[in-house]
Amino acid sequence: MAVQSTSMEAAAGPYDRAKALSAFKFGDKAFYWTTRACAIAVLLILGGIILSLIAGAWPAMKEYGFAFLWTQRWAPSADPPVLGALGPIYGTLVTSVIAMMIAIPVGLGIAIFLTELCPQWLRRPIGMAVELLAGVPSIIYGMWGFFVLGPFLANTFQPFMIRIFEGVPVLGAIFAGPPSYLSLFNAALILAIMVLPFITSISVDVFKTVPPVLKEAAYGVGCTTWEVVRNVVIPYTRVGVIGGVMLALGRALGETMAVTFIIGNSFRISSSVFAPGTTISAAIASEFAESDGLHQSGLILLGLLLFVLTFFVLAAARLMLMRLETKAGK
């Protein structure tokens, strides 16, 4: 047996260490350059999108300049065309803010219930229901909002809110009538439902990363569940929670089809959230197919504004996370 083993090793030849190391180095270099090329490709694609938007929007930028940002009138059929982005910008910000005001507390409440209070047998059904909400196509949300939610809000909720706040300073103007099937509030409520799964799912995942020993120690000194959540769970996971909220906000800013169905597509600005309005994405979706010339360039400029708005929102979120991490380090 020993003679046979020696003869097999001799036939196989001596172990070439340098050759093996060279093969490993080649694999590492190939992996490094492949991943680097993928990262650079993302930057190139992003740069290409920006350049394409700027090239398409350039005629409108030359024609209207910065006045495009604060002009409310939108009359592409006028001679010459009068285009202003103030209405879509206002609608985008209002619907997104209202949607986040509704979705953040509800989403965090669901996540806290699932991780801290929910019985084991109920966690899976609720978790699956939340995930199913994320999988529903946006056009289905729009149709449901148009045929079901819109009439319900116009016939029940909106008249109630109008009566409650009638004559109240500021709030009376915000919740002024008349009721409408198509309004900023209806679109914001649809957006809140659409972004709810993002906030809930990410919050559940980050809440599960809290070490059990921290919560057990808090319970051991007599803390209630609310105190454990407020003083242990939320501080430990705030970076991940804020990241999930910013992801949901990005979805709310750019949502198109569902909002187009139910917002009313009106470029006029009203103090009432029950009035029709429009957003940047809804304006582009509803008019781009029939546009040309300066009108089309104005719509592309709206897209560029949405791109810039989303960029600044995400940049602000990144700065906020960096400050939180710095404070935690201190």
Backbone angles phi, psi at 75, to 5 degrees: -135, 80
Give the whole-number percent of the chain exceeding pLDDT 90.
38
Note whether 169 and 93 are same-domain residues.
yes
Considering the domain architecture, whether residues 99 and 159 belong to the same structural domain is answered as yes
114 shares its domain with 54: no
Instruction: Say whether both 44 and 83 belong to one domain.
Output: no
Q: Residues 164, 148: one domain?
A: yes
Q: pLDDT tens, 248-269?
A: 888 888 888 889 989 988 888 9
Is the same domain home to 153 and 198? yes
Show which of 64, 90, 111 is a domain's final residue.
64
Q: Which tokens sit at 1?
A: 């047996």
Residue that terminates a domain, selected from 34, 64, 94: 64
Res. 3 pLDDT band, cuts 50 70 90: very low
pTM confidence score: 0.85
Looking at residue 8, its pLDDT comes to: 46
> Does 14 score more than 60 pLDDT?
no
Across the range 297-321, mean pLDDT stands at 86
Q: Within this chain, do residues 105 and 201 fall inside the same structural domain, yes or no?
A: yes
Query: Looking only at Cα atoms, what is the longest distance across the chain?
Result: 105
pLDDT of residue 11: 47
The confidence score (pLDDT) of residue 153 equals: 92
Tell me, what CATH number does 319's domain have? 1.10.3720.10
What mean pLDDT comes out for the span 100-114? 93
Q: What is the pLDDT of residue 106?
A: 94
Structural domain span for residue 21? 2-64
> What is the per-residue pLDDT across 199-210, written as a single tens digit (0 to 9) for each?
999 899 899 888
C-beta pairs of 176-180 under 8 Å, 24+ apart in sequence: 176/271, 176/272, 176/274, 176/275, 177/272, 177/274, 178/274, 179/153, 179/154, 179/155, 179/274, 180/154, 180/264, 180/274, 180/275, 180/276
64, 84, 118 - which closes a domain: 64
- The reply to whether 83 and 53 lie within a common domain is no
**pLDDT mean over 168-174:** 88
Kindly tell me if the per-residue pLDDT of 304 is higher than 50: yes
Average pLDDT, rounded, for the chain:
86
Task: Specify whether 183 is located in the same domain as 56.
Answer: no
Residue 136 phi/psi, 5-degree rounding, is -75, 130
CB atoms within 10 A of CB 57: 21
Q: What is the pLDDT of residue 315?
A: 82
- Domain count of the fold of the chain: 2
Q: Are residues 228 and 303 in the same domain?
A: yes
Please name the residue that has the structure tokens 């799964």.
Answer: 197
Give yes or no: residues 211 and 297 share one domain: yes
> Same domain for 19 and 126?
no
